[in-house]
Amino acid sequence: MSLGGRPAVTKRETLLAACSLAPPLSEGACAWCGAERPDRRKTWCSDRCGDAFWANHWWSVARQSAKRRDRYRCRRCGTRAPKRPVESAHKTRKAYVAAMRSWRKEKRTGRMEVNHIVPCAGAHGELSCAHHLENLETLCPACHKAHTATLRPRKHAPQPGAEELSGAALSTGLP
């Protein structure tokens, strides 16, 4: 499809042209690795290259890839996410169900979260280079909360000179 004689440019094509991980675009080459592309393919030379693109640009895929890369462990404190019980490891169905119940309860607080090292400012729902795997780290909720708190500006920070004003008002004895 074209607009006014020009071919339509997709968000993916725009992103590939600007992405630091992709090679310069060339006719007949894979958009991710630059290798020769088979005739039956339009963008990637293989599924592996397509998967690598999505793992670095689409938030839901990048988040899963970062957790797998970090082996579901917090990069700061080393806490691990709870492992799902395997049915074959339990002698009875009742024991397995009890283990699953316990896992579900523990999973609520022991989950792992993925943090953007360089904040992405709400670009989670769009294709973006902010989701490159080297910009992502897996954190436990406590470490993620502490990290996020350091990034937030203080809402009620004292104004410069406020101490002197309050001290002066108190020393005058005025009601």
The answer to whether residue 163 is domain-embedded is no
The answer to whether residue 72 is domain-embedded is no
The answer to whether residue 155 is domain-embedded is no
Quickly state the pLDDT bin for 44 (edges 50, 70, 90): confident
The answer to whether residue 95 is domain-embedded is no
The answer to whether residue 46 is domain-embedded is yes
Q: What is the pLDDT of residues 106-126, one digit of tens each?
A: 888 778 999 999 888 777 777
The answer to whether residue 36 is domain-embedded is yes
Of 113, 111, 107, the C-alpha closest to 148 is 113
The answer to whether residue 67 is domain-embedded is no
Quickly state the pLDDT bin for 40 (edges 50, 70, 90): confident
Of 169, 114, 165, the C-alpha closest to 138 is 114
Range of the domain at 19: 10-57
The verdict on pTM exceeding 0.75 is no
- Give the CA dihedral 58, 64, 70, 72, nearest 10 degrees: 150
Q: What is the pLDDT of residues 133-158, one digit of tens each?
A: 999 999 998 999 999 898 887 666 55
- Total count of domains within the chain: 1
The answer to whether residue 33 is domain-embedded is yes
